Amino acid sequence: MPRSRRPHRPRDAEPEPLDLERILGGARHTEQRRDGAWNVQPQSAASAVKEYTCPGCGLVIPVGTAHVVAWRADGLFGEADDLAARRHWHTHCWRIRT
């Protein structure tokens, strides 16, 4: 029987710490634009399970396409209204938005 190439870890050893930078790489962040602050959250292709219409170009974002979800971070009517008004953008359309 072939030997395992995995390193052997004693049973009482501590597990390796989580790499927070890698985990939070696709997490929500805030971007400053000319029209104010925006919450931006990347969506992976695996989590894109519906079709959306991009407000930047007016074209459909197909199922299984990585894209960006954006909503105001500094809206006047509160966080709940801002979140309800979130929009799905092609990543390129969000990047070139003025």
What are 14-51's pLDDT values in tens digits? 776 765 544 544 688 999 998 889 999 999 998 889 99
Q: Three-state SS across 8-51?
A: CCCCCCCCCCCCHHHHHHHCCEEEEECCEEEEEEEECCCCCCCC
The rounded mean pLDDT for the chain is: 83
Does the predicted TM-score (pTM) go above 0.75?
no
